[in-house]
Chains A and B, each alone.
Chain A
């Protein structure tokens, strides 16, 4: 069964637009962690944020913000005033009990100048 769903395969925006990347997850565990990673064209995955299942506070880091809603099993990621350097593939991931992590299929974001 699909654990993490990123329904948006590709998104294209013009610089300075705001963009939201959706992530919906599925789990029966009460304790779990959610993550967002960025994969630039060079290929390595860069960790952006971790959120545990007991902390539903929204998080803001510069132009990045995350909205975690357990009621809808969603952990969405918003980039405000997007820049060309934000162009990358973004992955949402879920870690349940145990030590493995399940990734979504990723959303390719293209920010045009």
Chain B
């Protein structure tokens, strides 16, 4: 089945540590996205990528970094500069045009 796989499902970060969240898709979609969701809030866009080797900052990119070396993969690194990383992170992909985004199951990140 085609879809988006996020791993791990739960992740714990120590102070001063960088952690990387994985997002893989086999839908052959060009565009991929990372969102952050805080309790009781909507989704805020962190980064997005429309093609390989290219990505743009979203509304809350500070403290995060991404790469897009392969069409299938769009990992998100939460750096130590992100002082409040505890949240639910969702990855999505989208085909060309005005198609709906498809979402992964999310990664819940917490601070130790």
A99 with B103: CB separation less than 8 A: no
Interface bin, chain B: 20 to 34
Total contacts A-B at CB 8 Å:
52
Q: Whole-angstrom distance between the alpha carbons of A47 and B102 in the complex?
A: 7
Cβ A43 vs Cβ B106 within 8 A: yes
Chain A, 60-113, CB within 8 A of any chain B CB = 91, 95, 99-106, 108
Task: Give which listed residue, A42, A101, A102, A108, contacts B105 with CB less than 8 A.
Answer: A42
- The listed residue with most B CB atoms (<10 A of its CB), out of A91, A103, A104, is A103
B73-112 residues with Cβ-Cβ distance < 8 A to A are 88, 90, 92, 94, 98-106, 108
For A27, the chain B residues whose CB sits under 8 A away are none
Chain B residue with minimal CB distance to A36? Answer: B100
Q: Which residues of B contact A (CB under 8 A)?
A: 31, 33, 35, 40-43, 45, 48, 50, 58, 88, 90, 92, 94, 98-106, 108
